[in-house]
Amino acid sequence: MVINCQLEGVKVYLPCKDHPSDEPNEGADLIITVPKGLTVAGPGLLQSVKTKKKKQTFHWKTNYTISNYCILFNIGKYDIVKRTYQTIDSNNVPMAFYVLEEDKAIAEKMLDMRERDTHILDKYIGEYPWATEKIGLAQVPNPGMEYQTMITYGDKSGKFIFSKVGSEDYLANLFHEFAHEWFANKVTNKYWAYRWIQEGITTYSEALFCREAAGESGYDSMMVKIKNGIKNAKPLVQGDEVNSSDSYTGDIYTKGAFFMHTLRYILGDTVFFKTLRELATDPQFTYSNFVTTDDVEQLFSKQSTLNLKPLFDFYLRTTDKLEIKIRQTAFQKYTMSVPNLPMNLPIDILTDTGMQHILLKEKDYVINSQTMPVIDAKGFYLKTVTTD
């Protein structure tokens, strides 16, 4: 028996105020009785299992703040495969995979992958957030979801078919749901309108996995894939009052992730990665505190000493793209115009003499080149380029 409530909301099975900011910050208890022989997988730590005739009662308890949609359980004929994970801060965390009996052979490999993925996420966005409870995984007959300390995962085929990133076996959906332990469960957006923060940064973390497994070219390939998924039909951030279904678009994943890619380019790796980690570890943005788009903007602005508000507004609150126009003005001479430049932006220009890296401050910029210049060749910006 599984529960999944994405979009319908947790109100379908639990009386609650169905809003992302409504998290019980002292945790939750779940007391579930099932026929003997079945196992209940839940959040936090298992307190007790009491047997009464042909029934068993499982008591699960989490002491952490928890999104209301993570207060749920799954029931199955599970085997439980365990080991211990040591975090980046040297805490030992129990790992448990609730695997269906018939798939037990895959369990150790899944835990190997989970350890590897936790190391990567620890490195980029801080220690596993629920270190005093567990790293849990429950097998379910749907693609899975980010349920706090008991991520669910399943695949349609009923088999575990891995893809390859570099030489690493990979399950994209599993990694995605697991990365939500940081962005979604630990760093939670205050309103539906800011959902891009949890979905976009989590999708971006998939590119960081590719960077670890296959280097910068692996990261770049992933960013192209993400970019090709952007529809750009409406802005990502439409105002605080927008409801769950209106805020939910594919772009909160793709365009949200691509925006982080753009930020990385503008800020450079040192500032960008340090600030990303700060967003996921500073108490003012985590656990029982919530974040808004302005919080993210102000943090990145502060750490970069740039005013990034115009850029955040441009890419998150409109569907605009940089409009880049190239016009040949003389022999081997071109003018690049960007009439809607939101702020001073670094940009790569490829000419016959190689790649130039400039800071574009004016709407017009003169380029000398024997060949037609290529602007932003590696694709750090959402843009349209027209040439006369």
Residue 289 in tokens: 């505190």
H helices present in 86-195, as ranges: 107-125, 172-179
Smallest separation (angstroms) from Zn ion to the CB of 68: 17
Count CB-CB contacts under 10 A for residue 152: 25
Smallest separation (angstroms) from Zn ion to the CB of 197: 11
> What is the contact mask toward Zn ion in residues 150 to 189, using x (rule: CB under 5 A)?
----------------------------------------
Helix (H/G/I), strand (E/B), else coil: 317:
coil
Smallest separation (angstroms) from Zn ion to the CB of 51: 38
Nearer to Zn ion, 180 or 336 (CB): 180
Smallest separation (angstroms) from Zn ion to the CB of 172: 11
> What is the contact mask toward Zn ion in residues 188 to 217, using x (rule: CB under 5 A)?
-----------x------------------
Smallest separation (angstroms) from Zn ion to the CB of 173: 9
Nearer to Zn ion, 71 or 257 (CB): 257
Under rule CB under 5 A, which residues in 43-82 are in contact with Zn ion? none
Nearer to Zn ion, 179 or 345 (CB): 179
Smallest separation (angstroms) from Zn ion to the CB of 208: 15
- Give the list of residues 6+ apart from residue 378 with CB closer than 8 angstroms, or none: 220, 348
The answer to whether the CB of 214 falls within 8 A of the CB of 166 is yes
Nearer to Zn ion, 61 or 227 (CB): 227
Nearer to Zn ion, 253 or 380 (CB): 253
Query: In this structure, what are the phi and psi dihedrals at residue 82, rounded to the nearest 5 degrees?
Result: -125, 155
Smallest separation (angstroms) from Zn ion to the CB of 321: 25
Nearer to Zn ion, 145 or 311 (CB): 145
The answer to whether the CB of 273 falls within 8 A of the CB of 172 is no
Nearer to Zn ion, 56 or 152 (CB): 152
The answer to whether the CB of 317 falls within 8 A of the CB of 197 is no
Nearer to Zn ion, 5 or 271 (CB): 5
Nearer to Zn ion, 199 or 297 (CB): 199
Q: Give the containing element (helix H, strand E) for 60.
A: strand 55-62
Tell me the pairing of strands 322-330 and 383-387. Answer: parallel
Q: What is the DSSP letter of 212?
A: H
Q: Which residue is nearest to Zn ion (CB)?
A: 199
Give the closest residue to 243 by CA, choosing from 202, 195, 289.
195
Residue 183 in tokens: 């962005």
- Integer angstrom CA distances of residue 292 from 196, 296, 339: 10, 7, 29
Smallest separation (angstroms) from Zn ion to the CB of 183: 9
Smallest separation (angstroms) from Zn ion to the CB of 170: 16
Residue 325 in tokens: 């126009």
Rounded distance between C-alpha atoms, residue 65 and residue 32, angstroms: 20
As a whole number of Å, the CA-based R_g of the chain is 23
Angle ∠(17,18,20) on CA atoms, nearest 5 = 110
Helix (H/G/I), strand (E/B), else coil: 318:
coil
Nearer to Zn ion, 146 or 376 (CB): 146
Q: Cα–chain-centroid distance for residue 66? A: 18
Smallest separation (angstroms) from Zn ion to the CB of 136: 17
Rounded distance between C-alpha atoms, residue 106 and residue 79, angstroms: 12
Site residues (CB under 5 A) for Zn ion? 199
